Amino acid sequence: MRVLILGGTREARDLAAALVDAALIDELSFTVTTSLAGRVSDPALPAGETVIGGFGGVAGLRAFLRTRGIDVVVDATHPFAATMSAHAVAACASTSVDEEPGGQAAAPEPAPARAHSPLAQPSPAEPGPAEGSAAPGPTGPGPTKGSTGEGSPSGDRQHEDGYGGDRPREGGAVPLLRLARPGWTRRPGDDWHRVPHLAAAAERARALCPPGSAVFVTTGRRQLAPFAADPDRHYVIRAVDPPADLLPTRHTVLLDRGPYTIDGETRLLRDHRIRVLVTKDSGGDLTVAKLDAARALGLPVVMVDRPTVTGPVPPTWPNVDGVLAALRELASAVA
């Protein structure tokens, strides 16, 4: 069974490793490809094949799924990668329909009877075992960028076993599963301020942090412009790669990728005299230590909520084991 994992998270890497292991030890055969956006300069590469650089929007992903004969897609992207998640929903759903002149997918046909098929595509009324975070977002950035992985994200490759060509997929749409870690939970002693987006986070941080004091921003290297408008506070910005955005006049950039410890985070908050922490509600344990440290020091946390889901939500699992079990079930069904 050919599995495409939309990656960029530790869970995606763990799943790829588990599937490669399963392919070695089981009678079930998985072929694993992970796609990465190519945002970071030195990404941690998963087991199996890797394609890097995006697909070129919904049409590009659909073409990739068809020409590569992908049997199932697992969206294991970060909870804030809303555009990619929305593209996955649209592309998978359109794999079984003809393209209209001009390259647009025809309207999906009514769903076939599928409630009992393990390969059934989910509908909005059939949520998975856990709430997911796939969400439609703005349109994608355009053409596919270059690939530095073993494979190519372009969807024009004929598969070696004969499956190939950007044709409607027989047997229904490619199933889509979602692997999404739960968000963080507030604990006693936390002083969290939830906000819907980064502009609101910048505003709330200014309200909580007196002029002349320092704000710790851990929301990534992009979309920092809302903080740049403030000349009165010092911004300590931590990211994997150097920020590509407008920066505040007074700032310090820390390049790091975790995982982090409570001791290390406490030291950092103290050394930089941080008064407010800003974070996305990413969830997971790789970066949770900053919340523990902020709690211990009595610091307020501005927590950016996850993007809202307005479209169909694929069956969603909160951990690798759940997705692995679902994939085994699918593989057994098609074996």
Q: Does 149 bind ligand NAP (CB under 6 A)?
A: no
In the bound state with ligand NAP, the residue whose beta carbon lies nearer, of 226 and 275, is: 226
Q: Using CA atoms, how far apart are residues 307 and 302, in angstroms rounded to an integer? A: 16
Contact 194, 330 (CB under 8 A): no
Q: Segment near ligand NAP (CB under 6 A), from 1-9, 110-118, 203-211, 257-265?
A: 1-9
**Cis peptide bond prior to 259, omega within 30° of 0:** yes
**Tokens standing for 304?**
């950016």
Report the half-sphere exposure of 329 (CA within 13 A, side-chain side): 13
Cα distances (angstroms) measured from residue 75 to each of 7, 34, 36, 82, 191: 7, 10, 11, 11, 32
Would you tell me how many other CB atoms lie within 10 Å of the CB of residue 318?
19
In the bound state with ligand NAP, the residue whose beta carbon lies nearer, of 60 and 318, is: 60
Amino acid at 192: W
Q: Which of 55, 192, 216, 227 binds ligand NAP (CB under 6 A)?
A: 55
Would you tell me how many other CB atoms lie within 10 Å of the CB of residue 18?
18
| Shortest CB 123 distance to ligand NAP, Å | 23
Would you tell me how many other CB atoms lie within 10 Å of the CB of residue 165?
13
Binding to ligand NAP (CB under 6 A) within 245-304 occurs at: 280
In the bound state with ligand NAP, the residue whose beta carbon lies nearer, of 234 and 283, is: 283
Q: Does 6 bind ligand NAP (CB under 6 A)?
A: yes
In the bound state with ligand NAP, the residue whose beta carbon lies nearer, of 10 and 206, is: 10
The torsion of the CA quartet 305, 90, 72, 334, rounded to 10 degrees, works out to 130
Q: Does 144 bind ligand NAP (CB under 6 A)?
A: yes
The torsion of the CA quartet 139, 143, 146, 149, rounded to 10 degrees, works out to 50
In the bound state with ligand NAP, the residue whose beta carbon lies nearer, of 77 and 121, is: 77
Q: Using CA atoms, how far apart are residues 169 and 88, in angstroms rounded to an integer? A: 16
| Shortest CB 79 distance to ligand NAP, Å | 8
**Tokens standing for 122?**
């989910």
Q: Does 8 bind ligand NAP (CB under 6 A)?
A: yes
| Shortest CB 2 distance to ligand NAP, Å | 16
Binding string to ligand NAP for residues 185 to 224, with x set by CB under 6 A, is what?
Answer: -----------------------------------x----
Q: Does 35 bind ligand NAP (CB under 6 A)?
A: yes
Q: Which of 18, 23, 50, 56 binds ligand NAP (CB under 6 A)?
A: 56
Binding to ligand NAP (CB under 6 A) within 75-94 occurs at: 77-78, 80-84, 87
**Secondary structure string (H, E, C) spanning 60-117:** HHHHHHHHCCCCEEEECCCCCCHHHHHHHHHHHHHHHCCECCCCCECCCCCCCCCCCC
| Shortest CB 203 distance to ligand NAP, Å | 20
Residue in 329, 324, 331 with CA at minimum distance from that of residue 17: 324
Please report where in the chains the tokens 């987006």 appear, as a residue: 197
| Shortest CB 188 distance to ligand NAP, Å | 27
In the bound state with ligand NAP, the residue whose beta carbon lies nearer, of 149 and 234, is: 149
Q: Segment near ligand NAP (CB under 6 A), from 49-57, 176-184, 207-215, 324-332?
A: 49-57
Kindly give the interhelix angle for 262-271 and 289-297, rounded to the nearest 10 degrees: 50
In the bound state with ligand NAP, the residue whose beta carbon lies nearer, of 105 and 275, is: 105
| Shortest CB 100 distance to ligand NAP, Å | 20
Q: Does 73 bind ligand NAP (CB under 6 A)?
A: no
Q: Where along the sequence are the contacts to ligand NAP (CB under 6 A)?
A: 6-9, 35-37, 39, 54-57, 60-61, 77-78, 80-84, 87, 140-141, 144, 220, 280
